[in-house]
Chain A
Amino acid sequence: MPSLFFCILLLGLGVTESQASGLAPPQQVRLDADKETQTLSVTWEDGHASTFDVEILRTELMEMVLNETVGVTENQSTGKHQWNWTSPVPLECTSLSVKVRSRDGQDVSEWSSQQILPGLDLPDNTDSQMYPEGKTVPVGSNMTFCCIVEEGQQFGSLWYKDTLMKENMLSRRTYATTMTNQGSSNPSGTNVVCSNEKKMIIAGAVVFVGYPPLPSDLVCETHDLISVDCQWSKGRDTYLFGMTRQTYYTLNGRNCPKARNSNMRCGLEQWDGNWTLVARNLLGEFRLTDAAELGHRVRPVAPVNLTTPEVYSWNASVGWLWKDKGFERLSLICQVQRTSHLNSSTQTYTGYGLNTVVLKDLQPDEKYSVKVRCGSQKNFWKWGEWSFPLSFQTKMDRPVAPDIWLWMDSDNLGRVLWKPLTKSESHGQISGYEVILWSPEENSQQTLTLPQSVYSLPINVTDRGSKVTVTVTAQNPAGASLPANVVIPRYLLDAEDTAISKVAFNGSGFPLSWVAHANASCGYVVDWYNTSCTQDCNVEWTRVAADNTNTMVQSGNFFAGVRYTFSVYACSSESTVLLERWHGYMQELVPSRTVPRLSPKQEGADVQLTWDQIPLEHQGGFILGYTVYLTNASHLTLLANITDPQLTNHTVKNLVLGSYKFTVKAYTAAGEDGGATVSISLEPYTYWLIMEILVALGTMTCLLIVITIACYRKRKWVKKAFYPEIPEPKLPGDWGITQGTLDVKPSPHSMVHIVEDSVWDSSKEALVTVPEEDEEGTGDEAADTDEPASLRYYNQVVEEGSSSQRRPHASDSSASSTGSMDSGHTDVTYTGIQTSACSLAPFQPQPDASQCVGGGGYRPQMQSASCPEEPQTGPEEHLQPPVGSFGGYQPQCSWKPDSPEADGDGLDQACLGSPTSVTSSQFLLPYDTSEEGKEHPSSASTWFHNLLTGKP
């Protein structure tokens, strides 16, 4: 009920308002859309007011786009009102509804009927679309794009370039986005695309964002005194390409079709004096103006048909023509550029209608290329274009006098040298040289003609007097040069007369200065050459004016590490005098070779090292000295630094015996060379050797004297020790005592066999007489015996080991051989009787120890009581004392005749005895029982022990 009341009230108010205002609503409202400019034109009639309310809605969603009161006057001719509105959104995006009402102050009419501008999102237009498409807008502008989605698809996203944009829904199918402050686009434009929910592009548009043209620097000139040629700068890039978007130019209203890219020029056939250039593209236009008088903008075209009417050796004339006759009546300034192989220069000439110039200071026999350009002398504007070049060659002329010099190898021999003439000096092809040697004292003259390729001539001035002048002239087809003279200087070696200084290279050359010489009428000559060169040296020289006493010697032929000799001569017509001489290196290097012939020499405890100087060509610099090192493995120990380069020896003192390695290095300002190394082994001195021998001899003598004295003073003991008195055996009967060897010659019918039986049985131990026929059964040793063997008893000490070693191997052939040899004389030798018994034992059963132990009485041939237990033991072990002990003096094993055990046939008889005599050199001492089980010392050691202990 209240709402009904409210509606009635509003209706009543509306009726009251319209009725109250009396304004008629606009009739025949019509909409016209310019979609390119997005402009909507609304026209209506019958609106008698001048103010109207306009309301624009998006039809589909009824969203208000515009509600504005505008003042629109009636067009008197048509009687209609027209109001234009530019939509920020393309008009194709969606339908718009427009209605208008009149307003007069607060009075308003009723709204007109609603007019609809249909969009392209209507259902009957099913395709996807995007607007605006292909628009060209200025940089920095804002722009709204809309995407109409295809029927049945879902909107996805909007992209400007590669930027995802925020969209705004305008209708069911239309979405819009606005890009602000757009940047310039690339030539093909900026892409704006719309995608569906599957991220597939469904529609897109391209916008071209650029600048309006902004050319500058319009300049118009004439090249032919008639037409106009205007040029300008393109200015800022518009970023717009293509037939519709590019910039078009007009000059004074005429199109300039050739103004493209960077070629910004346009021409007119007549000189107007004022020019206006209009540059135009879709975003705007720009105007440039220029104004000038014809005479102030003359830039002549290039002269044509260049010729050389006259060509001489030193000058030539050049002429040309003008295509346009106007220049023949114009004061011109022209530049002529001439280029030769030497240089290029430009000369300027002026003249009225200038078309000929004379080129001066040309070189004879030289090819030139000339080109010309001109400008207006009056109100000069710009130089015109260069003409095409013209080439010509000047004529030849006589050459200049050659630069000659003399270099003397010796007093009478030398070479005349002259420098080849350069292209600018020869003035033509040199055909040869003429050399004249003239001696005024001898009044003789010798003339030689040399080909053009020869630049030196060996001379011999012997017998030509003290003053010889050499004259050289060069010749070419145009004639001979002026003569070049020089007086032969006196030959001077380095060491003679003139002191030699050192000169250092300062980076650009060798600075030389000298004292002025009174007689230097034709100046000074400085020559230089490789110091180490001895023959046909490359000599260079330079001339210095007479008023100058210094120069900088420069040459491209200087090399590092090479010593050069510089000499300055005073030159006059009478003589050539050497003033000063220098040595110098362009760059000092370390010597390229080590010192040669390095050799050591031992002088007692000293070593003298000597070497030779490095050859000059290998020095690399000024030798400042030598360093001597002691080389120890890779380590160098500095021994001496010899700062005198002339000193080539050094003595290293106070060395002990041993091997030494020395390294000697020469050094220059650049450093040391690699070093020469030499080795020496110090040997002991001769008198030391003699002294050592003498000391040894003296020592031996003293020792012998001491021993002699000791033996003398102890002679009784010695006698007792070495020659004890042997008590005579008390034998029944008369036994003659014979001294010496007892030779027992057995009966021819019997032999004495040494019966060996390790089983000691005193009852059997005996010398057995064996019948001769039994001899064969004993072995080979008896077969060689032709005569009956005699038994010999030597008073001889035989080394125990020898027998004891042999015996256990009696079965060996060697043993047999020995046995045979022994049996030659059937010698029976008492050798180590006590021990041999044991050593013979292995081939016998072990005897009972009790059987070996004899009594304590004198038993000169007592068999050893002990027998070795192990037959395999060595000889030393066989020397072990017997198990039993002898309590008393035991000179020898007992001998018993007719021993039943002595019937063995081997040589391994345990004990030998003689029933007649025993002479022994062996100590016959009892074994010390306390030494049982130990190695028994030899009899000699026992003796020595006793000697030392003083025991008898």
Chain B
Amino acid sequence: MSGHVKNMCPQLTISQAARTLLSLLLVAAIDSVSAGVVCRKQPCGSSLQRSLKLTKLIHKESVDLLKTYKLSQGDMSELFCQMSINNVPDPNISGLDPSERMLSIYSHCKAFLPHLKRVTEQQTDLQPPSSSLLSKLSTAHNRTNGLANQINCIYQTLFPNLPIPPEPVDGPTSVPPSQNVFQQKVYGCVVLKRFKEFLSRVTRELRTLKSQVCTRRTPFADTNALF
């Protein structure tokens, strides 16, 4: 039957193959568009080192950002960060193997982005336009987005057979609904505090991953090839 078909419709077979190829290309294009990232192939060590440097930079800036934030929130703001707020991403990085932990870093970066954006919006209504807090918040948001993209590229390079799930592995942390001004202040403080802690952990994690993954690049690649 198949021979018949083959004999009867050779052009159709060719067109199906072309269609399949076209579909694959479309899927790949859509996937790259959805990722929004153009990854350059770089050695494992240099790409991780680059991300590590960026993480250190963001972490250093996050320390200053938190300090600036507290200074601009008025009296007693030092105690705001001690209050408990729900739905703020947990700074801990989860996962057992490097791929899971790297995925956790990526999803955390993505999870923090809307919160940073929300804090920026809230503080825009509480600070004069010339406030340095607003520019620092904006910078932190952009750099974190860049870090997430870098982690994404590293993950794709190191673990090409492991797709990145669309949803964060640690579960979504939606931005809070409307808050009063005091709640906004507390929320921002908690977000920035956890953000700082997360970056500290990422710094350690990337350092560990660099020593683990990049020195055992081939075994991991082979392992991933099994999946």
Contact surface of A with B, Cβ cutoff 8 Å:
130, 133-134, 159, 161-162, 185-191, 193, 200-201, 203-206, 241-244, 260-261
Contacts of A189 in B (CB 8 A): 74, 126, 181
- Chain B residues with CB below 8 A from A185, complex form: 74
Query: With A187-B127, A242-B126 in contact, do A206 and B76 touch (Cβ < 8 Å)?
Result: no
Task: Pick from A159, A188, A190, A244: contact of B127, CB below 8 A.
Answer: A188
Q: Is the CB of B125 within 8 A of A206?
A: no
Indicate if B185 sits at the interface (CB-CB under 8 A): yes
How far is A206 from B126 in the complex, measured between Cα atoms in Å? 11
> Which of B35-43, B56-64, B79-87, B100-108 binds A?
B79-87
Interchain CB contact under 8 A, A159 and B128: no
Asked if A206 and B127 make an inter-chain contact with CB atoms under 8 angstroms apart, the answer reads no
Q: Encode contact with A along B64-76: 1 for CB under 8 Å, 0 otherwise.
A: 0000000011111
Is B186 an interface residue, CB under 8 A from the partner?
A: yes
Query: Given contacts A201-B79, A205-B181, could you give 8 more A-B pairs where the C-beta distance is less than 8 Å?
Result: A133-B182, A134-B180, A189-B74, A189-B126, A191-B73, A191-B75, A242-B126, A244-B125
Whether B129 lies near A187 (C-beta < 8 A) is no
- Name the 7 nearest CB pairs between A and B, nearest first: A206-B181, A242-B125, A188-B126, A204-B182, A133-B180, A161-B75, A134-B181
- What are 20 A-B pairs with beta-carbon distances under 8 A? A134-B180, A159-B75, A161-B75, A186-B74, A188-B73, A188-B127, A188-B185, A189-B74, A189-B181, A191-B77, A191-B185, A193-B76, A201-B79, A201-B80, A203-B182, A205-B180, A206-B74, A241-B125, A260-B129, A261-B129
**A130: B residues at CB distance < 8 A:** 182
- Contact with B128, one of A203, A206, A241 (Cβ below 8 angstroms): A241
Residue-wise, chain B 163-198 has the 8 Å CB interface mask toward A (1 for contact) of 000000000000000001110011000000000000
Residues on A with beta carbons closer than 8 Å to the beta carbon of B186: 204
Q: Which of A200, A201, A241, A260 contacts B126 (CB 8 A)?
A: A241
Contacts of A191 in B (CB 8 A): 73-77, 182, 185
Chain B nearest CB from A840 CB (Å) reads: 112
B127 — which chain A residues lie within 8 A by C-beta? 187-188, 241
Residues of A within 8 A of B185 (CB): 188, 191, 204, 206
Main secondary structure of the interface of A (DSSP, over half): loop
What's the Cα separation between A241 and B83 when bound, in Å?
26
In the assembled complex, how far is the CB of residue B78 from the closest CB belonging to chain A, in whole angstroms? Answer: 10
Which residues of A lie under 8 Å from residue B180 when comparing CB positions? 133-134, 205-206
B68, chain A: closest CB distance, angstroms: 12
Q: Is B131 interfacial (CB-CB < 8 Å)?
A: yes
Across the interface, which residues of B come within 8 angstroms of A188, CB to CB? 72-74, 123, 126-127, 181, 185
A205 touches B182 (CB 8 A): yes
Contact assessment for A133 and B74 in the assembled complex, using a CB-CB cutoff below 8 Å: no
What CA separation (Å) do A133 and B183 show in the bound complex? 10
Q: Are B74 and A190 in contact (CB under 8 A)?
A: yes
Q: Which residues of the partner chain A approach B181 to less than 8 Å between Cβ atoms?
A: 133-134, 188-189, 205-206
CB distance from B14 to the nearest CB of A (A): 62
List residues of chain B with CB under 8 Å of any chain A CB: 72-77, 79-80, 82-83, 123, 125-129, 131, 180-182, 185-186
CB closest residue in chain B, given A135: B181
Q: Which chain B residues lie closer than 8 Å to A186 at the CB level?
A: 74
Q: In the bound complex, how far is the Cα of B145 from the Cα of A791, in angstroms? A: 139
Q: Give the complex CA separation of A244 and B125 in angstroms.
A: 8
Q: How far is the CA of A617 from the CA of B79 in the complex (A)?
A: 79
Nearest chain A CB to B122 CB, angstrom units: 10
In the assembled complex, the CB of B195 is this many whole angstroms from the nearest CB of chain A, namely 19
CB distance from A208 to the nearest CB of B (A): 8
CA–CA, A244 to B124, complex, Å?
12
Complex: A244 Cα to B180 Cα, angstroms: 13
Count chain A CB atoms within 10 A of each CB in B79, B83, B181 and give the residue with the most.
B181
With a cutoff of 8 Å between Cβ atoms, the chain B residues found around residue A201 in the complex are 76, 79-80, 82-83
Contact yes or no, A187 B77, CB < 8 A: no
A162–B75 CB distance below 8 A: yes
In the complex, which residues of chain A have a beta carbon less than 8 angstroms from the beta carbon of B74? 161, 185-186, 188-191, 206
Complex-state Cα separation, A191 to B186, whole angstroms = 11
Question: Which chain A residues border B75 with CB–CB below 8 Å?
Answer: 159, 161-162, 190-191
Give the complex CA separation of A204 and B189 in angstroms: 14
The listed residue with most A CB atoms (<10 A of its CB), out of B76, B77, B80, is B76
Residue of B nearest to A132 (CB): B180
A134 to B126 CA separation, bound complex (whole angstroms): 11
In the bound assembly, the distance between CA atoms of A188 and B80 in angstroms comes to 14
B72: shortest Cβ distance to chain A, in Å?
6
User: Complex formed: what's the CA distance from A201 to B84 in Å?
Assistant: 10
Inter-subunit contact B79/A193 (CB<8 Å): yes
User: Complex formed: what's the CA distance from A260 to B129 in Å?
Assistant: 10
Are B82 and A206 closer than 8 Å at their CB atoms? Answer: no
Nearest-Cβ distance from residue B98 to partner chain A, whole angstroms: 39
Residue of A nearest to B180 (CB): A133
- Interface centre among A130, A162, A188, by most chain B C-beta atoms within 10 angstroms, is A188
Interface centre among B125, B182, B186 (most CB of A within 10 A): B182
Q: Decide if A187 touches B76 in the complex (CB within 8 Å).
A: no
CA distance A205 to B182 in the complex (A): 5
**In the complex, chain A residues whose CB is within 8 Å of the CB of B79:** 193, 200-201
Give the complex CA separation of A200 and B83 in angstroms: 8
Chain A residue nearest to B83 (CB atoms) is A201
Contact residues in A for B77 (Cβ distance below 8 Å): 191
Docked Cα-Cα span, A134 to B183, in Å, equals 10
Contacts of B128 in A (CB 8 A): 187, 241
| Chain A residue with Cβ nearest B184 | A206
Measured in the bound complex, the distance between the Cα atoms of B77 and A161 in whole Å is 10
Q: Is B131 a contact of A206 with CB atoms below 8 Å?
A: no
Bound state CA distance, A629 and B212, in angstroms? 90
A208 closest partner in B (C-beta):
B181
Q: Are A187 and B126 in contact, with the CB atoms below 8 A? A: yes
- Cβ of B83: which chain A residues have Cβ within 8 Å of it? 200-201
A188–B73 Cα distance when bound, in Å, is: 6
CA A142 to CA B214, docked complex, whole Å: 65
Q: Report Cα–Cα, A613/B78, bound state, in Å.
A: 83
How far is A203 from B180 in the complex, measured between Cα atoms in Å?
A: 12
Q: Whole-angstrom distance between the alpha carbons of A225 and B125 in the complex?
A: 40
A200 & B82 in contact (Cβ 8 Å cutoff): yes
**Nearest Cβ on chain A to B89's Cβ, whole angstroms:** 22
**Which residues of chain B come closer than 8 Å to A261, judged between CB atoms?**
129
A148–chain B nearest beta-carbon distance, Å: 14
CB distance from B216 to the nearest CB of A (A): 47
Q: How far is the CA of A241 from the CA of B180 in the complex (A)?
A: 16
| Contact call B131/A187, Cβ cutoff below 8 A | yes
Distance of A244 Cα from B77 Cα, bound (Å): 23
Compute how far the CA of A260 lies from the CA of B79 in the bound complex, rounded to whole angstroms: 34
Bound together, the chains give a CA A641 to CA B189 distance in angstroms of 86
A622 → chain B closest CB, angstroms? 66
CA distance A189 to B125 in the complex (A): 11
Q: Which residue of the partner chain B has the closest CB to A260?
A: B129
Closest residue of chain A to B133 (Cβ to Cβ) is A188
Query: In the complex the two chains form, what is the Cα distance from A261 to B131 in whole Å?
Result: 13
From B182, which residue of chain A is reached at the shortest CB distance?
A204
Closest chain A CB from B110 CB (angstroms): 28
- Nearest-Cβ distance from residue B1 to partner chain A, whole angstroms: 71
Chain A proximity of B167: nearest CB distance (Å): 30
Which B residues lie within 8 Å of A161 (CB)? 74-76
- Specify which chain B residues have a CB less than 8 angstroms from the CB of A193 in the assembled complex: 76, 79
- Nearest residue in A to B74 (C-beta to C-beta)? A191
Which residues on the B side are within 8 Å of A242 (C-beta)? 125-126
- Closest partner residue, chain B, to A199 (CB atom): B79
Q: How far is the CA of A677 from the CA of B180 in the complex (A)?
A: 93
Closest A residue to B73 by CB, please name it. Answer: A188
Q: How far is the CA of A161 from the CA of B180 in the complex (A)?
A: 18
Least distance between A126 CB and chain B CB atoms (Å) = 14
- Which residue in chain A gives the minimum CB-CB distance to B186? A204
Separation of A203 and B73 alpha carbons in the complex (Å): 15
Report how far A327 CA is from B83 CA in the complex, Å.
67
Chain A residues within 8 Å of B72, by CB: 187-188
Contacts of B80 in A (CB 8 A): 201
In the complex, what residues of B have CB within 8 A of residue A200's CB?
79, 82-83
